[in-house]
């Protein structure tokens, strides 16, 4: 499958669902970005605190970071919702919160920290190996969805194995959205309302494409 075919599959996924996809994106942004910001402001003593100092105090920043990490499963839920769309399943807003289920939550947080640590360690060696490893780990959350019995580290390992020979294609897929990203910036960010669901749907399509390739190799 070529990149344009992956993106065409993503558009087919979104056909008739653009409204839902956009609302899911807005809700995810509101939960994951705005809530930590509000918490930080509250712990800073209110909006007027910034008039007397350069930024929020360290304690407020730390609490905001804790909430950012704690709420990360909503990003997982967002990505997996688009994966289920791509598989022609019915989805709703409640699917955003599937990552907060007891049997998934800490595994998702585990993958979050481990991928961050592994990628950082590779970046400390050289930039290029860090980028390559970040591409290799990119499918870990999807794998955790399909194989919830796996540990966080096992999901990362399977992602690395699944991406063997496909990292360049995934990199090119990501690069293919640069033009749309520039357009979105020129529209003062409004274009991201459509671009983010498009990218997310394309990533889900790419993962399903990898699964098909894996089955063909095994046959």
* Residue 171: predicted pLDDT: 96
State pTM to two decimals. Answer: 0.89
Q: How many CA atoms lie within 13 A of 161 on its CB side?
A: 10
pLDDT digits (tens, 9 = 90+) for 163-211: 999 999 999 999 999 999 999 999 999 999 999 999 999 999 999 999 9
Residue-range definition of the domain harbouring residue 46: 3-218
pLDDT digits (tens, 9 = 90+) for 5-30: 999 999 999 999 999 999 999 999 99
* Residue 60: predicted pLDDT: 77
The structure tokens listed for 59 are 């304690």
Work out the percent of the chain whose per-residue pLDDT is above 90: 74
Helix axes 18-29 and 73-86, enclosed angle (nearest 10): 170
Mean pLDDT of the chain: 90
Say how many C-beta atoms besides its own lie within 10 A of residue 90's C-beta: 7
pLDDT digits (tens, 9 = 90+) for 77-124: 999 999 999 999 999 999 999 999 988 999 999 999 999 999 999 998
Number of domains composing the chain = 1
pLDDT digits (tens, 9 = 90+) for 128-144: 889 999 999 999 999 99
pLDDT digits (tens, 9 = 90+) for 61-76: 888 889 899 999 999 9
The full DSSP string for 68-115 is HHHTTHHHHHHHHHHHHHHTT----GGGGGGGGSHHHHHHHHHHHHHH
* Residue 50: predicted pLDDT: 47
């Amino acid at each position: 499958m070529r990149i344009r075919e992956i993106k065409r599959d993503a558009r087919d996924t979104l056909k008739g669902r653009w409204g839902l996809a956009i609302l899911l994106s807005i809700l995810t942004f509101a939960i994951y970005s705005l809530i930590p910001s509000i918490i930080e402001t509250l712990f800073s003593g209110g909006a007027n605190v910034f008039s007397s100092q350069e930024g929020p105090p360290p304690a407020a920043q730390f609490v905001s970071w804790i909430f950012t990490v704690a709420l990360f499963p909503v990003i997982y839920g967002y990505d997996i919702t688009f994966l289920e769309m791509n598989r022609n399943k019915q989805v709703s807003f409640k699917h955003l919160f599937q990552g907060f289920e007891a049997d998934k939550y800490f595994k998702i947080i585990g993958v979050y920290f481990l991928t961050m640590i592994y990628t950082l360690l590779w970046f400390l060696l050289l930039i290029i190996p860090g980028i390559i490893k970040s591409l290799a780990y990119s499918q870990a959350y999807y794998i955790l969805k399909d194989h919830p019995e796996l540990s966080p580290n096992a999901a990362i390992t399977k992602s690395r194995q699944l991406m063997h020979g496909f990292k360049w294609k995934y990199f090119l897929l990501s690069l293919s959205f640069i033009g749309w990203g520039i357009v979105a910036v020129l529209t003062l960010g409004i274009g991201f309302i459509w671009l983010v669901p498009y990218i997310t749907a394309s990533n889900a399509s790419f993962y399903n494409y990898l699964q098909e390739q894996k089955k063909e190799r095994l046959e």
